[in-house]
A and B are shown apart, each in its own frame.
Chain A
Amino acid sequence: MLLPYAPWLCWLIPIIGTAVTPLVGAIRRKFSSYLAVLSIGMSALFSFSMIPDIYFGTAQPDLTIPWISNSIIQVGVYIDPLSVLMASVITCIGFLVTVFSVAYMQEEPSLARFWFLIQLFIGGYVVIVMADNLLFMFIGWEIVGICCTGLAAFWYKDPKKAHIGLKTFLVLHVADVLLLVSILIIYAYSHTLNIMELSQNNNWMGELSRSGLLFITALMFFGGAVGKAAQFPLQEWLPDALAASPSSFNALTECLAGPFLIARVLPIFHEASLMGYSDMVNFFLVMTFVGALTAVISALIAMVQANIFKVLSYCISSVIGYMMAAFGLAGLMADMSWGYLAGTFLLTVDAFLSALLFLTAAYISYAVGSDNLHHMGGFKSRIAHRSMEVGALALGGIPPLSGFWCTNWIQTIAWDFAGEAGMKGQFMLMISGYVIFALLIIGAGITAFYALRMMGLVFRKESYGSEEKVIRRPPSLMRISLAATLVITAFLDFLALLLIPSFNKFLLPLLGTLTFSNIVDVLMYIVPSISTVLTCVAVAVGGYPAYQLYVAHRVNPVKLIEEHRFLGKAYGFLWKRCYINTLYHKVADGTNAFSNIAHKHLERSIDRLNYGVAGLFRRLSRVMYKYPELRGIDALNYFLAHFVTSFTRRFRKTHTGVLSYNMLTAFVGVIILIVLLLLFGGVIP
């Protein structure tokens, strides 16, 4: 290992930094910034130091230390190409964002809280990627979720933003609960949480499949990823959370944890599919469709948003849809490596691409003091424009840039899959393959539209509305880190094609087969396909109206919408975000109303029942007191007493005290005794 203990320190350092931040911040506000730069920089350094180990294959894959005695719960790190790659990407972007934020947040009064959350976030994120067992990964997962909430509600004084924090937490929590259940079920069947052991010993899948739980367990696992990755139908937390949180943070793209999670467990699930558990085919189909649908729906909504951060968050959601589709296709096909490679490559490139776009957006919004796309015109800055060009053109799928290759690659896989299924005679799968292919192509067209629209609106010469706009000059630290991000992203973007073979080589331990040994293979696979043609058509169809509307300004979009009723309706529908958000609120309100009703009727009636029982006893006691007690037993007592006294009173009259009477009664008594003796002969019966 290049640096000692790197797999541990890369996540431990930011977490220690988190713990120290409140103290350091209390000494001096600015120190917390320096601490954050230091801790995240160190973390990036340690992450990078693991890359050579992977490349030369000298790393020890799994390190653990026990956490709870007498149980299998451990803290462990898993060192493989995927984890090291992601850790490096995250910490690298994290470092750039940190440097950017030092300047961006310098006037914020609660700076220490910001750094607390950011460091904890990066620590948690690296825990997700480095964890070797599902429970530890889940802990990182939750930490990231909480930090997202905390950052969304960072300016908690604003009731709207505080509410967005609440919503973010709840939506993420619903997904996390699904993930937790599936982890629990896997744990119960396999008796291990370790990812390596899970993949080596897959008897548990057989047992799960026999009990009929395999599909539902896998689906719940995917549900967890859907929430974090902002996929349909749980995507609505992301745009609000990102629009509310301090914008420089957005570049950290927490939602990429979702596709990472899938990439992490995909080999295990794929193995199950190969072993012939037919449930898994359905599962992967669901995954692919969710991905493809999200790619289209999110892109559609992104077309009309005015807030630049909302546009970008729908853009991420849409791109992650492509990744999910790639992973789903990888699972469906006999050879996983095509889809897997495409998904992970897109994941890596998009992490930087999104970071670049978000940092640019933060840079521009800092300068013009608004998040609204329409207010961003008139701001001249060479670096912001270059960044936006690189980002938006790559996103829109303009040929020599990475976006074109990646989407095209995934579409080709979909086409191949449909062909493969057709040859095997699996008619439904073939149809599904073509539908997915069509959805992805449509997605590419829409993406081209909104990417160009965003670029056009940002580049407008004149400002919209307010004439007297103060344009702040961003501090040089922001410019430097933006430039650094631009350089890295441009490198990845332009050389995407060249990088694919070496990327493949890097991931070789994971894939097992070398799919692309050199650039010619890549070109041979991607370019001569129907997908290339259709992608170019779709990009042209999507891009041309956007160019006319927003770049060349030949047509006024507002007028267009007013003139065509259908367009207006579609616009309204998309502006309301397909009413999915409204649906969330309906569900939340419904639960609330239900609990109120239950409280009103059920709870009170139970309480009334209790009081009723108590009242019954009281009434019973009153009746008992009246009848058996007063009129019965007590009356009998009184009656007896009364009887005795009245009897004696009457009897006393015979006691006259005259001697002759006494003698007479004694004489009568003696006679009675004699009669009795004579009758019974001395024997008393």
Chain B
Amino acid sequence: MLAIILPIISAIFIYVFGKYAERYVGWIATAAASLSVCMILSMVTDVIEKRLIHDTYAWIPSINLKLGFMVDMVSFPIALIVAVVSALSCFYSIKYMENKRGQTGYYANLLLFMAGMIGVMLSANLIQFYLFWELMLIPSYFLIASWGVSKKRLTIGFKYFIFTHIGALFMLMGILSIYVFTGTFDFAELPRVSADIPSTSILTVFVLLLIGFCVKMAIFPVHTWLPDAHAEAPTPISAMLSGVMIKCGAYAFARILLSGFGQTVLQTSDTLAILGVVTMIYGGLMALAQTDIKRLLAYSSISQMGYIFFGLGVYSTIGATGALFHVVNHAVCKSLLFMCAGVIMHQTGTRNIRRLGGLADKMPITCAASLIGALSLAGTPPLNGFWSEWMIFSGGVFSGKILITTIAVVSTAITAGYYLWFLWRAFFGTTPKNLENTRKPSWLMRIPIIVLAVIAVVVGIWPDLVLRLLSAPF
């Protein structure tokens, strides 16, 4: 619980007192975020021993609502990676956002955003879940609309807000109908009481919730907010948006739909798997058509969300575990790639891939890290992405969907295609004249990249490190 409250308090603190210490505000925020990481890490022994942490406090007794936090093998690894990526983004911002205005507001919003995401992961009931869901939307809207890079930032921020908010409202309707039928908001009771929902309306409730999650995960065809928003946000925020925020949808899918609506997922699993594969291929093809680094990465996120959605949708234990593992791996690799893209943009001043070239000897660490991130997402062993994709696809074949899975696996070739194209254009070949004086990036930006790349390799060689903390919610 302290892990959530800490960033909120420090956000307020930074906003109020920030102007007295403008130069150190980034460091203070990073310290607060890292402290939050430590808080979450401190629960690791309980999770390994499979002890459920479930703290509740009275809130509104009249509607059976308590304020509660729950940590188990579904929420813990995702909450941890959220905190880690947020803390690293915060650290990365120190250099990247150095000369931007409104430092205090930026860091305050960043911390609130982080608190919202961790809150979503650790909530123990649906109402609290919804409140945190909205809490992460508002600061992220401000981050895009105020610190965005182009003149269109207000429009794009607005589009992002409306899209996500409509999704959230669908979800709210679903949540309230669950309450009407079952009389509880509690996650822990959900699997037990979901049988109370009459079979005629269970599909409606399911679809309402699903729409809400799909918008967040940017599943085709409700994905168009994502490329705009992720390309527009300042890079550390893109890393958080693409790396972890959209995973809230995946987490919610696993937490609410898989545990509460297992039968319905099973009935609709063909549709869900097809939706996943369509998103995979479509996102990949769109990424192939991009020349803007950040848009390419944003479309790649859509494609990767397709993998996760597929893994959750096929309804098999190994598939769902793989999908949750992929949530963690994609968070690591995509944040890594966004940070590398940020380094390229910061050092060269261009974000058009066609204007880049031969940067490998100007920034060897960034190049190696990008290679690791890209190859991992393309499913190359022995990097972490391979394991989760392997598990997702074996989930697919185990549930008997051989044809769909085959298409899904073949579509990974598209992933390899656009990533390799990007790396080839950016890092290899001859250096254009105007980039010849490109300087090495600051260590402040390189450290988060190195940390994430090391995580990707270590988890790849020793996947048990994460898999021990992770299990499917059914």
Contacts and interface: CB of A to CB of B under 8 A. Distances in A.
Contacts of A594: 285
Nearest to A153: B428
B413 A69 contact: no
Q: Chain B: interface residue count, which band?
A: 35 or more
B360 interface: yes
B405 interface: yes
Interface stretch (A183-191, A297-305, A407-415, A475-483): A183-191
A139 B460 CA distance: 11
B218 to A, nearest CB: 12
Interface string B393-418: 11011100010011001101110110
Contacts of A185: 397, 402
B387 to A, nearest CB: 8
Given A146-B375, A188-B402, A162 B381 contact: no
Interface residues of A, number: 46
Given A162-B429, A177-B413, A614 B382 contact: no
B390 interface: yes
A223 B430 CA distance: 35
Interface string A160-196: 0011011001100110011011001101100000000
B424 A163 contact: yes
**Interface of A: prevailing SS:** helix
Interface stretch (B15-23, B132-140, B462-470): B462-470
A135 B375 CA distance: 18
Interface in A67-91: 67-69, 71
A180 B409 CA distance: 8
Given A177-B410, A603-B286, A606-B221, A138 B467 contact: no
Contacts of A184: 393-394, 396-397, 405, 409
Nearest to B318: A71
A188 B398 contact: yes
A188 B314 CA distance: 14
Contacts of A600: 289
Contact of A614 (B162, B410, B467): B162
A156 B420 contact: no
Contacts of B424: 162-163, 165-166
B224 interface: yes
B380 interface: yes
Contact of B402 (A68, A146, A166, A213): A213
Contacts of A156: 358, 360, 427-429
A610 interface: yes
Nearest to A600: B289
B266 interface: no
A143 to B, nearest CB: 7
Nearest to A169: B420
Given A135-B390, A146-B375, A188-B398, A181 B428 contact: no
Given A159-B429, A184-B393, A188-B402, A174 B413 contact: yes
B436 to A, nearest CB: 13
Contacts of B224: 603, 606-607, 610
B345 interface: no
B154 interface: no
B443 interface: no
Contacts of B1: none
Contacts of B429: 156-159, 162-163
Contact of B416 (A68, A169, A592, A595): A169
A180 B379 CA distance: 11
A599 interface: yes
A614 B420 CA distance: 37
B288 A592 contact: yes
A634 to B, nearest CB: 27
Interface in A592-618: 592, 594-596, 598-600, 603, 606-607, 610, 614
B471 to A, nearest CB: 9
B420 A170 contact: yes
A433 to B, nearest CB: 33
B289 A596 contact: yes
A142 interface: yes
Interface in B275-299: 282, 285-286, 288-290
Contacts of B285: 591, 594-595, 598-599
Nearest to B468: A69
Contact of A591 (B358, B409, B417): B417
B397 A142 contact: no
B467 A68 contact: yes
B421 interface: yes
Nearest to B462: A67
Contacts of A180: 393, 409
Given A159-B430, A162-B424, A177-B412, A187 B394 contact: yes
A643 B402 CA distance: 75
Given A69-B468, A146-B380, A173-B413, A595 B393 contact: no
A656 to B, nearest CB: 61
A667 B285 CA distance: 93
A616 to B, nearest CB: 14
B336 to A, nearest CB: 18
Contacts of A598: 282, 285-286, 289
A276 B421 CA distance: 46
A23 B121 CA distance: 40
A429 to B, nearest CB: 30
Contacts of A596: 288-289
A153 B159 CA distance: 42
Contacts of B360: 156
Contact of A181 (B361, B381, B409): B409
A67 B459 CA distance: 12
Given A159-B428, A169-B416, A603-B286, A187 B397 contact: yes
25 contacts: A68-B467, A69-B464, A156-B358, A156-B429, A159-B430, A163-B429, A166-B421, A173-B412, A174-B413, A177-B412, A181-B405, A184-B394, A184-B396, A184-B409, A185-B402, A188-B397, A213-B402, A592-B288, A592-B289, A595-B289, A596-B289, A598-B286, A599-B285, A599-B290, A606-B224
What are the 6 A-B residue pairs with the smallest beta carbon separation, nearest first? A162-B428, A188-B397, A599-B289, A159-B429, A595-B288, A139-B381
Given A69-B468, A142-B386, A591-B414, 16 more contacts: A68-B387, A68-B463, A139-B386, A143-B382, A157-B361, A159-B357, A159-B429, A177-B410, A177-B412, A184-B409, A213-B402, A591-B285, A594-B285, A595-B289, A598-B285, A614-B162
